[in-house]
């Protein structure tokens, strides 16, 4: 298994995972096993890869089997849909710090092919993503749909992210989770 910063050649594999596991396209029988709520277009993926240099992938050989997005709030400011999250940052306090666009970033979506869930892929992919951002931002912020219990349990229990509040976004009830980016991901191995 290989964990690394995404390259342009990975875009078709990422889009395939998005289409398979997005909440609007996933089969009802697969939904309890986790889903993603954000879909990055090819253009947005290209910008993430080239400008933010913050998209992590997990590959089994040449096949992309997982990805984890991480993006600065400055990058997200160009889309009004993210304004409520950005505007709410000063209402979030984590480890005695009030969050801002300067001291935090948004993690997600994260998606792993069903055949690789419950393995070492999640902690290693998360660690790869954390390493891409830790020197830029001390705090990671992510939003997990309260109906997505598998993702919530994976991020809170397995990865040790802290629930800091609940948030409503476009009629979706979300948990807001944070972590200190200086902390190595529990369960990750061999990622540098």
For residue 189, is pLDDT > 80?
yes
The three-state secondary structure class of 185 is: coil
pLDDT at position 65: 96
Q: Kindly indicate the confidence band of residue 37, based on its pLDDT and cuts at 50, 70 and 90.
A: low
The three-state secondary structure class of 70 is: strand
- Domains of the chain by start residue, with CATH: 2-180 (3.40.630.30)
The torsion angles phi and psi of 44, rounded to 5 degrees, stand at -65, -40
| Block residue for tokens 């994260």 | 110
Peptide bond into 40 cis (omega under 30): no
Query: In sequence order, what are the residues at sequence separation of 6 or more whose Cβ sits closer than 8 angstroms to the Cβ of residue 108?
Result: 36, 38, 68, 69, 70, 142, 143, 144
Q: Average the pLDDT over 169-185 and give the result.
A: 91
Read off the pLDDT of residues 72-125 as tens digits, 9 standing for 90 and up: 999 988 877 789 999 999 999 999 999 999 999 999 888 899 899 889 999 999
Read off the pLDDT of residues 128-161 as tens digits, 9 standing for 90 and up: 999 999 999 999 999 988 888 888 998 999 999 9
For residue 39, is pLDDT > 80?
no
The torsion angles phi and psi of 157, rounded to 5 degrees, stand at -85, -55
For residue 56, is pLDDT > 90?
yes
Q: In 10 A of CB 42, how many CB atoms?
A: 12
């Amino acid at each position: 298994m290989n964990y690394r910063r995404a390259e342009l050649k990975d875009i078709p594999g990422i889009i395939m995972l998005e289409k398979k596991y997005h909440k609007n396209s996933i089969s009802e029988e697969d939904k309890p096993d986790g889903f993603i709520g954000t879909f990055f277009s090819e253009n947005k993926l290209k910008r993430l890869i080239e400008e933010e240099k913050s998209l992590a992938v997990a590959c089994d050989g040449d096949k992309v089997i997982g990805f984890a997005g991480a993006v600065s709030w400055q990058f997200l400011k160009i889309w009004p849909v993210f304004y409520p999250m950005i505007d709410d940052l000063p209402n979030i306090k984590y480890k005695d710090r009030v969050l801002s666009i300067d001291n935090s970033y948004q993690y997600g979506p994260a998606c792993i092919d069903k055949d690789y869930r419950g393995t070492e892929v999640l902690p290693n992919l998360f660690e790869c993503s954390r390493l891409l951002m830790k020197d830029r931002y001390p705090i990671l912020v992510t939003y997990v749909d309260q109906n997505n219990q598998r993702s919530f349990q994976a991020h809170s229990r397995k990865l040790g992210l802290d629930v800091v509040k609940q948030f409503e976004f476009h009629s979706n009830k979300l948990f807001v989770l944070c972590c200190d980016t200086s902390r190595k991901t529990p369960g990750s191995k061999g990622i540098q």
